A and B are shown apart, each in its own frame.
Chain A
């Protein structure tokens, strides 16, 4: 606990109150923190839409090569971040047919919000899938079978039985996924330096002006993220007490 808290407390207390106030008035700072939050949110949303069915399939079925599929899903966690950025860029470039296709329909990955969301989804998705898969696995398939045997369709079984039981793990998955996405730096800085998300801005401030001017931005990011996650946790806890 002290190991986590000590450097963070040091960071939080280093900048003066005046500095913090000045920093949050800086439009670049506000814009980058907002961009960070909303790209991470989008990444979590995409993970929710595409990751949930995949997690369900992985939790409920057994097939040859399942271990391989699961390892592939975990890959983005272990690959060094800059490598992720380079990999995405090499697909997005004109030298690759997908990049050429994107180019023709006018989608730009390099230096765009689209690119940032792609990267954040790439690194965040595994956390979502793993959390939700665990959630599904903890629900007994018997409940679903009973529902089916009573005549409910597969969809209504999912929405009336599985979803109400698993939504908490989905929320955890979304928190994990967006938390991972907000903290991403290495891959984003390769795909998009501008527009700047908060970690990139912190890096730029550190390189150009030094520690003194990067710290307040970092403090604000930590503070805002902490508040957001706290709210999410309280929401889930609140419901649990009611239930």
Chain B
């Protein structure tokens, strides 16, 4: 009797599996594992995109690996880790490290910029605005901070923004004066950590990416384009700002020059799953798909996305060509 029960359940299980196998294979289209390396600052919007995309293509399992953009590229070039799609917080990383050996094209799809975040409990929260923020940051009773320039790009970018403000506002010495009011204790390893300090009232103002500010519902001050590192047309202005960060060993230093926060994405030539990668890129670069999510999360997308030359547009897979324009 018992044995019969066991037998019956085994048969049922087997038939279920067979039916399931048949039904998945019946759906044509992309399936399997899809690997994407991306900048850490894209984690939140990409998590939302992953959900929507996997709902659309249940057969695909998108596996994302967030890391610093440089590190992502190194994982492909130096470590040789298999990867389908790579999205960088600095589109030039793809140009410099991946093209032509590992990728053929580079689509710029979104921007970001530095903003000064605060909460309604921050000191002078009712007074601060785009014209007086640098005066408020000099006040003795104001606690403000940024992330560690040696560990987090957002950190050195925050310092660049202040340098650019000094130039744009024609206030020599502003950078020094501001930093004099920022004790070392207000520097944190990663910019996201500053948010909890803002929210618990341990800090009044913090420099963050616009996307981070929007995703965490913080108040923020948007600065003009020539300061905020958000518009790549100002790259010539941005590069006047530079920050010294630690080099490869303690005691050594290197200089990083300012440039815009422009995001780029590419498909790796040796992609293990090109079919799924194409499906995801089509979704991600669609103004009604991924770009809409980016916009909602404070990472202003390019609609449509951009490639620098007509040749590069021609090099794109056909399905993507209709989603981009040629614009330098």
Q: Which residues of A contact B (CB under 8 A)?
A: 26, 28, 86, 89-90, 92-96, 99, 109-112, 189-190, 192-195, 203-205, 207-209, 212-213
Contact = CB atoms under 8 A, between A and B. Distances in A.
Interface stretch (B57-65, B165-173, B199-207, B280-288): B199-207
Instruction: Name the prevailing secondary structure of the B interface residues.
Output: loop
Given A89-B196, A204-B151, A96 B187 contact: no
B201 A95 contact: yes
Contacts of B101: none
Interface string B110-125: 0000000000010000
Nearest to B151: A207
Interface residues of B, number: 23
Contacts of A194: 183-185, 187
Which residue, A94, A192, A213, has most C-beta atoms of chain B within 10 A? A94
B275 to A, nearest CB: 37
Contacts of B193: 190
B80 interface: no
Given A111-B186, A190-B193, A194-B185, A99 B250 contact: no
B74 to A, nearest CB: 13
A84 to B, nearest CB: 13
Given A193-B148, A193-B187, A193-B189, A90 B246 contact: no
A3 to B, nearest CB: 29
B189 A207 contact: yes
Interface in B176-198: 183-189, 193, 196-197
A89 B200 contact: yes
A199 to B, nearest CB: 13
Given A213-B249, A213-B250, A90 B200 contact: yes
Given A26-B250, A189-B189, A208-B246, A111 B183 contact: yes
A219 B59 CA distance: 49
A96 B199 CA distance: 11
A95 B200 contact: yes
Contacts of B183: 111, 194
Contacts of B70: none
A195 B250 contact: no
B2 interface: no
6 contacts: A86-B200, A90-B200, A95-B201, A99-B202, A193-B185, A207-B151
Which residue, B183, B200, B203, B248, has most C-beta atoms of chain A within 10 A? B200
B151 A112 contact: no
Nearest to B123: A94
B248 A209 contact: yes
Contacts of B186: 111
A193 B246 contact: no
Contacts of A189: 189
Interface in B134-185: 148, 150-151, 183-185
A195 B196 CA distance: 19
Nearest to A207: B151
A96 B151 contact: no
Given A89-B196, A90-B200, A213-B250, A193 B188 contact: yes
Contacts of B248: 209
Nearest to A193: B188
A192 B250 contact: no
Given A112-B185, A194-B185, A207-B189, A92 B202 contact: yes
Nearest to B247: A209
A89 B249 CA distance: 33
A166 to B, nearest CB: 40
B124 to A, nearest CB: 13
Nearest to B245: A208
Given A204-B189, A205-B250, A92 B148 contact: no
Nearest to B143: A110
B250 A93 contact: no
Given A195-B184, A203-B189, A207-B151, 7 more contacts: A89-B196, A96-B201, A110-B202, A111-B183, A193-B188, A208-B246, A209-B249
